[in-house]
Amino acid sequence: MVDIEVAFSPDGPLAAVIPGFRARTQQIEMARAVHEAIANQTTLIAEAGTGTGKTLAYLTPALLHGGKVIISTGTKNLQDQLFHRDLPAVRGALGVPAIIALLKGRANYVCHYHLERAREDGRFMNREDVVHLEQVRVFAEHSKTGDKAELSGVPEDAPIWRYVTSSRDNCLGSDCPHHKQCFVLEARKKAMEADIIVVNHHLFFADVWLRDEGVAELLPACNTVVFDEAHQLPETAGLFFGVTISTGQIIELARDARMEAVAGCKDYLPLPDAAVALDKAARDLRLVFQEDSGRWALDKVAQRDGYSDALDACELALQTLNQHLESQAQRSPGLESVWQRGVEIATLLAKWQQPVPADSVRWIEAFSHALTLNTTPLSVADIFTKQIEDNARAWIFTSATLSVKGDFSHYRSQLGLLNSASQSWESPFEYASQAMFYLPSNIPEPNTPNYTKAVVEAALPLIKASGGRAFMLFTALRAMREARDLLTAAFEAQQLDYPILMQGDSSRTELLTRFRELGNAVLLGSQSFWEGIDVKGEALSLVIIDKLPFSPPDDPVLAARLQQINQNGGNAFMEYQLPHAVITLKQGAGRLIRDETDHGVLMICDPRLVTKPYGRRIWQSLPPMKRSRIEGEVVAFFEQIRHLSDE
């Protein structure tokens, strides 16, 4: 059996098969710590700076130790990368005969039953849906997995996927006529037989809490769980340990009731009529909120004009549909399933309107086409701790951003990992020579009216010096859109030919592909672009952050958490808001240097870094870059970078 030292040695098995492999002290130390945690079945919080190679640092000891391992990732993209690239490479290098499996949520697999129903129903909004439906049909006939990620011809966000996949709500289970062909069951079967199973955080928590996706069956036999991108866990856990009812769920219930009525009881006309009435009631409830988006505590919206009447009308329409479904449920498994869903949604809706305990908050969120009614626990620590204490196994939590200057208190308290071991390894990159941190000296305070204009004006000389090749990261969508307009006008006035790309114009993958290909673009993004973005090389040389990423204090969940901390004698700002902002900022800053040969400038425009007492704590948590407040020095640094690339 290969040991850790041999595996990571310059002439070892990993170096032999992994392109560009370099033995790094930080990586070897992390691998040792993970190996020890697995051997002793303990919990380890492992922060590894960008470039450490944390994936190899946990995969190698996990494979060498053996046993059943669940690896949970932050995104489906990372999940696919682990399964298709990283795991096979490490397994082959180490010569370990481990069976690996990929398990996603059921909404990622084509459902034969719903595909058949969609084809029979034939009601689609446009020709593109019809084309996509035929592509899915052909794919389902020939695919071994049914994983929609393998069907490149149909975009991941195409509307047709809602009609041809199943959910926890509308799966017929063993009553399904296509039960033996089910792609979801086949994926679970392979996971049960595998040694290493790759899932994602949403799937893990959906299953642990709802016992729905197959992970709960895996946990008893599992000796190691690894959470990669573990900084996302507190928020993800909060989503699943709470309760959410959406108008989207209700509209889908109405849609499925109508489709099942067409298939199973064409002679009973009150059922489709009731489905249409519920669809309208759910949409009317959303229309009470004129805003495109927003989040409000329940007590802030309870008196809003039309809200109570619309909610009552929706609840009544749901009860009416359920009565009709109950009368017809025995006529088909599909009608029975829809009825059970309707009863469950009605129960949740009634429960949501009852008072909640002091350790939870009720709130409403509006999206462009939906409204969600939420109950969220103010802390997931106790719930999460109970989940991981049930059985003895190793739990590994790893990310590039888990601490504030090596202090893990905030992260530990969020997940209840108060006595867990923690270690932090700095990035092996030479930040002092590779990067510069620039805080412009003429930026006003963030709450001033023309703040975004000042940010763009300060950024323009640097964008010109870097030849485009920039990310601009914003804490608010409104500021991002304003910056796009200002940049467009400035580029036109100054005859600068830098393409502008913005979040929302197309998918994140398409935007990043275009950014890399163009070579001189400026990409504007908000929350989803602060992490999980990997652009190596000269295509990205400048990252501009408009403000310190403090969460809006009027957010209903955050406001309730802060109030609870302060009422218990704590300091909510220092204990919660500041650490959260630091971890988010580290994620955004981490987009800049992704490789040992990368060079670039991190520009943070927020003057609070020097005007507020906490500012020092924030910038000291960033990688040790050169620092400057003088524009000329930064422009000169770009000149140095250009000379290096020309050599």
129/124 Cα distance (integer angstroms): 6
Residues 455 and 587 in one domain: yes
pLDDT at 209 over 80: no
236 in a domain, yes or no?
no
pLDDT of residue 634: 94
The arithmetic mean of pLDDT across residues 432-436, rounded, is 92
Residues 360 and 257 in one domain: yes
The arithmetic mean of pLDDT across residues 470-482, rounded, is 94
Banded pLDDT at 124 (limits 50, 70, 90): low
Residues 641 and 552 in one domain: yes
Closest C-alpha among 498, 137, 309, 23 to residue 13: 23
147/109 Cα distance (integer angstroms): 5
**What is the separation, in whole angstroms, between the first and last Cα of the chain?**
45
Residues 469 and 598 in one domain: yes
Question: The whole model's pTM is what?
Answer: 0.88
Residue-wise burial string across 124-147, b where 16 or more C-beta atoms lie within 10 A, e elsewhere: beeeebeebbebbeebbeebebbb
406/579 Cα distance (integer angstroms): 11
pLDDT of residue 171: 85
| Domain range enclosing 94 | 4-98+195-228+380-425
Total domains in the fold of the chain: 4
pLDDT at 388 over 80: no
Contact 37, 44 (CB under 8 A): yes
365/296 Cα distance (integer angstroms): 6
Tens digit of pLDDT for each residue in 622-640? 999 999 999 999 999 998 8
Looking at 394-441, list the stretches that DSSP marks H as alpha helix, in order from N- to C-terminal side.
409-415, 431-434
Residues 77 and 210 in one domain: yes
Closest C-alpha among 210, 284, 218 to residue 68: 218
The arithmetic mean of pLDDT across residues 585-613, rounded, is 91
Closest C-alpha among 140, 70, 136, 60 to residue 103: 70
Query: 540: which 2 tokens?
Result: 């990205």
Give the residue from 391, 425, 459 where a domain finishes: 425
Contact 65, 39 (CB under 8 A): yes
The arithmetic mean of pLDDT across residues 97-122, rounded, is 89
Residues 78 and 168 in one domain: no
Residues 503 and 604 in one domain: yes
Residues 255 and 358 in one domain: yes
102-106, 108-112, 385-389, range with the lowest pLDDT: 385-389
The arithmetic mean of pLDDT across residues 16-20, rounded, is 85
256 in a domain, yes or no?
yes
Q: How far is the CA of 232 from the CAs of 245, 296, 329, in angstroms?
A: 22, 23, 41
Residues 270 and 368 in one domain: yes
189 in a domain, yes or no?
no
pLDDT at 541 over 90: yes
Residues 129 and 148 in one domain: yes
Banded pLDDT at 645 (limits 50, 70, 90): low
Query: 630: which 2 tokens?
Result: 């003088």
Tens digit of pLDDT for each residue in 38-72? 999 999 999 999 889 999 999 999 999 989 999 99
Residues 71 and 205 in one domain: yes
Which phi and psi (to 5°) does residue 89 adopt?
-65, -45
> What is the CATH number for 488?
3.40.50.300
Banded pLDDT at 211 (limits 50, 70, 90): low
31/37 Cα distance (integer angstroms): 10
> What is the CATH number for 261?
1.20.1440
176 in a domain, yes or no?
yes
Query: 616: which 2 tokens?
Result: 């020092």
Residues 414 and 465 in one domain: no
Give the residue from 362, 392, 425 where a domain finishes: 425
Which phi and psi (to 5°) does residue 422 adopt?
-140, 145
Integer-rounded Cα Rg, in Å, for the chain is 26
Output the average pLDDT for the chain.
90
190 in a domain, yes or no?
no
**3-state secondary structure (DSSP) of residue 230:** helix
pLDDT at 345 over 90: yes
pLDDT at 241 over 90: no
